[in-house]
């Protein structure tokens, strides 16, 4: 019997490998790390794609620090905003994303986490009271129901699904060739629309549809327990069982 754990705990949601991060990981007994580059990173300075040598240097730096780099998630939104909205220039962005995925494969980084929500994560408070006097983030839909449009017009579910299918058709074959797994994160929060733009990855049925569109052993989920629980506790457990049984959960956000 193998001594390898079926799941390993990783330090995540950092965009830099700093001495403090390395020390904290070692103090916690953690041997794996995952990066979130939504806001960019000094390790990956590319303005429209990530380059091979930058990715290789980051992976090597992790290994030199005794950490295994398991996944990088979330390019800056400007890497593929036109893709998500179906605007002119999306094919150029797709070519750059294909290059990024190839470079990740060459650099030995096995998982690329992504989302398909051009308006990003929304919160209405960063100081909501929590247990024991702690503060946390919060979202109240009533406070943003009349929020202005984020872009030039409203974008519907049908448009976003069409754009998603176009994107998957272009990048999944590249991911398969590169040996990189793509892991889809839910919209956060998982509500129908914000800023006039549909948020399509908001339910169990939506994720089944996404996996059908991107039907590949290299396509699965970044299963965010928090976002799935916001859909509903039943959705969370249904999704967990369904996708785990099919080997579609590539890593988990546990919060």
pLDDT at 3 over 80: no
Rounded to two decimals, the pTM is 0.95
Strand 219-224, strand 249-253: pairing: parallel
Which CATH architecture describes the domain 10-121+158-253? Alpha-Beta Barrel (3.20)
pLDDT tens by residue, 120-139: 999 999 999 999 999 999 99
State the average pLDDT for the chain. Answer: 96
Q: What was the pLDDT predicted at 1?
A: 44
Average pLDDT value for residue range 153-166: 99
Which comes out higher in pLDDT, residue 232 or 83?
83
pLDDT tens by residue, 102-122: 999 999 999 999 999 999 999
Domain boundaries, the chain: 10-121+158-253
């Amino acid at each position: 019997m193998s001594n390898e754990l079926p799941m390993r705990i990783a330090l995540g949601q950092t965009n830099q490998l700093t001495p403090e991060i390395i020390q904290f990981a070692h103090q916690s007994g953690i041997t794996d790390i995952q990066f979130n580059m939504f806001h960019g990173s000094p390790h990956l300075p590319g303005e429209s794609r990530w380059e091979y040598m930058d990715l290789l240097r980051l992976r090597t730096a992790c290994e030199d620090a005794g950490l295994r780099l398991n996944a990088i998630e979330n390019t800056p939104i400007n890497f593929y905003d036109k893709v998500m909205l179906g605007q002119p220039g999306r094919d150029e962005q797709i070519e750059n994303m294909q290059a990024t995925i190839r470079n990740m494969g060459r650099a030995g980084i096995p998982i690329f986490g992504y989302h398909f929500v051009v308006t990003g994560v929304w919160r209405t408070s960063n100081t909501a009271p929590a247990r024991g006097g702690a503060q946390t983030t919060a979202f109240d839909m009533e406070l943003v129901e009349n929020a202005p449009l984020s872009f030039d017009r409203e974008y519907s579910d049908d448009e976003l699904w069409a754009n998603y299918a176009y994107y998957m058709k272009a990048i999944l074959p590249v991911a398969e060739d590169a040996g990189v797994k793509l892991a889809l994160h839910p919209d956060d929060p998982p509500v129908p629309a914000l800023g006039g733009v549909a948020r399509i990855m908001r339910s169990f049925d939506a994720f089944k549809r996404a996996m059908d569109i991107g039907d590949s052993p290299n396509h699965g989920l970044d299963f965010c327990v928090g976002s799935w629980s916001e859909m509903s506790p039943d959705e969370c457990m249904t999704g967990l069982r369904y996708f785990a049984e099919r080997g579609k959960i590539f890593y988990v956000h546990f919060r």
